[in-house]
Chain A
């Protein structure tokens, strides 16, 4: 069974600084996708960034980037120039190729310190 682990229940960062959220996963599959979702206090799940496992290049979306290490099964999220609006729960998620079912990690609560 696939599992997703986020070892940091809570993180905090000063506004404008950079923070990295960790995620590891366990799978025997070779083709899969990885996602980071943000859940603000409104509880709406918002896609932050996604990565295809077959791509070696790390995905980047504006201030958000990932460090995807396939051999290590690691998928960390880096948030640069942190903003107050980045405060939220962040969930790492995984799904295998050919199946749209998502497996979520336990989440990391990110606090932005003004």
Chain B
């Protein structure tokens, strides 16, 4: 159980275009989803926290107009990289909470990630 599907697994786009990445919780309702960015050989850096039905909360330094996050349902959150540039090339990973309660040490469940290459 607790499967998170992320799509696409990799995408190549031209500079200036936008690309959308989907994160779906397949067998549970995810009240909260998180979007991370991982540069090669580096750690995961949290970009934003996405709550169903409300605006995402962005981490300091993350451009909210560039990285649009929509959490329209309890099973889907999307990250759209707008007007992508080569420096946006990275590995993007989503994770989802099963919502068992903030006091529970439930781990987050991660998607398989999306490798974005902007040419």
Contact = CB atoms under 8 A, between A and B. Distances in A.
Interface residues on A, range: 20 to 34
A107 B43 contact: yes
A52 B110 CA distance: 20
Main secondary structure of the interface of B (DSSP, over half): strand
B98 to A, nearest CB: 10
Nearest to A32: B105
Given A97-B102, A98-B102, A99-B102, A45 B42 contact: no
B89 interface: no
Given A101-B49, A106-B42, A43 B107 contact: no
Main secondary structure of the interface of A (DSSP, over half): loop
A97 to B, nearest CB: 6
B23 to A, nearest CB: 13
Given A43-B112, A98-B103, A107 B42 contact: yes
Contacts of B91: 43
A47 B107 contact: yes
Interface in A60-114: 91, 97-107, 109
25 contacts: A35-B107, A42-B112, A43-B93, A44-B112, A45-B95, A47-B107, A50-B105, A52-B105, A98-B102, A98-B103, A99-B102, A100-B32, A100-B97, A101-B49, A102-B34, A102-B46, A102-B108, A104-B43, A104-B44, A104-B45, A105-B43, A106-B42, A106-B43, A107-B43, A109-B41
Given A101-B34, A104-B44, 20 more contacts: A35-B107, A43-B38, A43-B91, A43-B93, A43-B112, A44-B113, A45-B93, A45-B95, A45-B110, A100-B32, A100-B34, A101-B46, A102-B34, A102-B95, A103-B46, A104-B45, A105-B43, A107-B41, A107-B43, A109-B41
